[in-house]
Amino acid sequence: MKYTIVVCDHIHEAGLEMLKNDESINFVMAADVDKTELVEKIIPTADVAITRSSTDVDEKFIKNAKNLKAIVRAGVGVDNVDIPGCSKEGIIVMNVPTANTIAAVELTMTHMLSCMRMFPYSHDHLKNQRIWKREKWYGYEMKGKKLGVIGFGNIGSRVAKRAKAFEMDIVAYDPYIHPSKVTDLDMTYTKNFEDILACDIITIHTPKNKETIGMIGEAEFAKMKDGVVVINCARGGLYDEEALYNNLTNGKIRFAGIDVFNKEPAIDHPLLDLDNVTVSPHLGANTFESQYNIGTQAANNAIEAAKGIAYPHAMNLPIDESKIPSFVKPFLEMGQKIGFLESQMNKSQIISIKVSGYGEIGEYVDSLSTFVAVGAMSQSSGDTINYVNADFIAKEKGITIESENCGASSVYKNLITIKLTTAEGTTTISATIFDDNIQRIVAIDGFDIEVALRGDMVMFKNTDVPGVIGSVGTTLANNNVNISDFSLSRNAKGEALAVILVDEAVNETTLNELANLEACINVSYARI
């Protein structure tokens, strides 16, 4: 079966190559197609669409998206996507929130340094006006200054860490995080927004929504100290722009660094007339590295969504992400992948799914079971399964879904175990997430084994006798299948399990040859 992925706007060539090279994907490049033609003639054929800011996912788009199961917004912002409208039609909306993180962080630091040292203006004075006047350009040091960070997520927290290296004092405001995320870094966490307004420099790193639009206006500027420096490299309109202009002209704000505007392109904006503003034309994601990351991550997310493997960074999930710790979401995505994996290992009618959580993740097993069910049933339900209807479809198919909070784990801080029972048998996989969100299987059907959760996987169970590894390796080699990783485990019953990651898809002929090896008990193959 082939899945159609439509690329509506330009992304990095590396992402396009990923789509072109996947044999299960019908890739349609429509970035240069007229938008009316795109919506009316191409989008109706799409299983997944990749968009950027040039394509509005509005009522007309959604109405024509008759087969669409997911949209990937190649970037952070989803301002141009009607998420409630997509949810109503069962379309999952995903973004790529971390691909341009470093680019945005470094641009924020660029504006901060430029404001403190008035660098663009001294540069212009010398280079363009050919005036050497050192006494005109006395700036301020960042060391010892108090930096207020509004929003302590992927970008805000990294800005704070870099500012800490400049020996600044950091005060962070973010009601949606645990204070320890700030205090563990030897920074100050506050629930009182006026603590932010008292800082020497203020930088904002929040999404743009009803709560944050214009969150700093005349009243907030009035409470700031004279000579404050403000930075916005997040979203346009978080500072009330009229109030920002007024306070830059009356001297309350000494300098501002602005990368984003309420309406773009902002070529006639009043802020451009001021000589105490550094500006850039929305360059937060404009590095070669970030464009590569955005393109490849968007392509990978689209492929996983098309195949029903996972929906990374979905925006319209059946949970309120503001109410769950940040460590939970990677477990949800991993749980869905394991459900998908087990359904391939044990290809038969699903009877039951049991999800157990050990450690803090145990408190979220109900949400986790929904994700596991989507992964497990995507093999049989295809396009009809999503987070909203998973429980209903399970009941319709007579599948029992059970979740269990098991308390603390004796070995891992957090561990999930997923038991999938079908008409032909049971498969049980345990997995955890190590530092830096590295997903790892740690047990399969009672065998303790550490395996990366990715790629093409051959599971080979055999009697524990000499020569098996050589026979398996020779069989794969004879079929031009290259091994990238080989993990082995043994049990007390005289059995062994090998999980083999390979570079190519494995066909039925190769699997049959492996199954016919004398020591083989069973063999299965899965593609994540």
- DSSP states along 342-410: HHHHT-S-EEEEEEEEEEGGGGGHHHHHHHHHHHHHHHHHGGG--TTTHHHHHHHTT-EEEEEE----S
347 token code pair: 């290809």
Res. 321 pLDDT band, cuts 50 70 90: low
Per-residue model confidence as pLDDT tens digits over 464-510: 999 999 999 999 999 999 999 999 999 999 999 999 999 988 998 99
Range of the domain at 20: 1-98+286-317
- Integer Cα distance of 352 and 30 in angstroms: 42
Candidates 331, 335, 386, 369; CA nearest to 70 is 386
- Integer Cα distance of 338 and 332 in angstroms: 10
pLDDT score of 238: 95
pLDDT score of 4: 97
Per-residue model confidence as pLDDT tens digits over 137-157: 999 999 999 999 999 988 999
Catalytic residue annotation: 235, 264, 282
Residue 32 within any structural domain of the chain: yes
- Integer Cα distance of 51 and 7 in angstroms: 6
Same domain for 143 and 53: no
Least confident stretch, 114-128, 207-221, 228-242: 207-221
Q: Which one-letter DSSP state was computed for residue 435?
A: G
Same domain for 169 and 133: yes
Residue 396 within any structural domain of the chain: no
Residue 334 within any structural domain of the chain: no
| pTM (2 d.p.) | 0.64
CATH number of residue 22's parent domain: 3.40.50.720
Residue at which a domain ends, from 232, 258, 279:
279
Residue 121 within any structural domain of the chain: yes
Q: Which residue has the higher pLDDT, 380 or 327?
A: 327
Beta-carbon count within 10 A of 512 CB: 10
Res. 384 pLDDT band, cuts 50 70 90: low
pLDDT score of 317: 65
- Integer Cα distance of 483 and 505 in angstroms: 11
Same domain for 259 and 176: yes
Q: Are 53 and 334 in contact (CB under 8 A)?
A: no
Q: Are 103 and 159 in contact (CB under 8 A)?
A: no
Average pLDDT score over residue span 150-170: 95
pLDDT score of 513: 94
Residue 172 within any structural domain of the chain: yes
Which strands make up the sheet holding 188-190, listed edge to edge?
Answer: 188-190, 169-173, 146-150, 201-204, 228-232, 253-258, 277-279
pLDDT score of 17: 97
Average pLDDT score over residue span 239-267: 96
Per-residue model confidence as pLDDT tens digits over 47-59: 999 999 889 999 9
256 token code pair: 């501002």
Same domain for 137 and 273: yes
Residue 336 three-state SS: helix
- Integer Cα distance of 502 and 511 in angstroms: 13
- Integer Cα distance of 444 and 491 in angstroms: 11
Average pLDDT score over residue span 447-459: 91
Q: Which residue has the higher pLDDT, 75 or 475?
A: 475
Count Cα atoms within 13 angstroms, Cβ side, for 452. 11
pLDDT score of 379: 67
pLDDT score of 385: 66
Cα distances from 165 to residues 139, 162, 377, in angstroms, run 19, 5, 49
Q: Are 56 and 33 in contact (CB under 8 A)?
A: no
Residue 126, pLDDT > 90, answer yes
Count Cα atoms within 13 angstroms, Cβ side, for 502. 26
- The total number of structural domains in the chain stands at 2
Question: End-to-end distance of the chain based on CA atoms, in angstroms?
Answer: 16
pLDDT score of 243: 97
pLDDT score of 435: 77
Candidates 279, 284, 264; CA nearest to 105 is 284
pLDDT score of 423: 81
- Integer Cα distance of 514 and 265 in angstroms: 60
234 token code pair: 């997040």
Residue 419 within any structural domain of the chain: no
Res. 45 pLDDT band, cuts 50 70 90: very high
Res. 383 pLDDT band, cuts 50 70 90: very low
Residue 248 within any structural domain of the chain: yes
Same domain for 132 and 93: no
Same domain for 195 and 72: no
Phi first, then psi: give them for residue 138, nearest 5 degrees: -80, 120
Residue 226, pLDDT > 70, answer yes
Q: Which range scores top for mean pLDDT: 159-163, 402-406, 494-498?
A: 159-163
Same domain for 93 and 106: no
Same domain for 248 and 157: yes
**β 48-51/70-73 pair status:** parallel
385 token code pair: 């399964």
Average pLDDT, the chain: 91
Same domain for 185 and 64: no
Phi first, then psi: give them for residue 515, nearest 5 degrees: -65, -25
Same domain for 4 and 143: no
CA 107 to chain centre: 21
Same domain for 250 and 197: yes
Residue 350 within any structural domain of the chain: no
Least confident stretch, 230-234, 314-318, 373-377, 436-440: 314-318
Same domain for 224 and 122: yes
Candidates 49, 51, 108, 50; CA nearest to 80 is 51
Least confident stretch, 109-113, 410-414, 416-420: 410-414
Sorted by sequence, the CB contacts under 8 Å of residue 126 that are 6+ apart come out as 132
Average pLDDT score over residue span 265-286: 95
Give a three-class secondary structure readout of 237-286: CCECHHHHHHHHHCCCEEEEEECCCCCCCCCCCHHHHCCCEEECCCCCCC
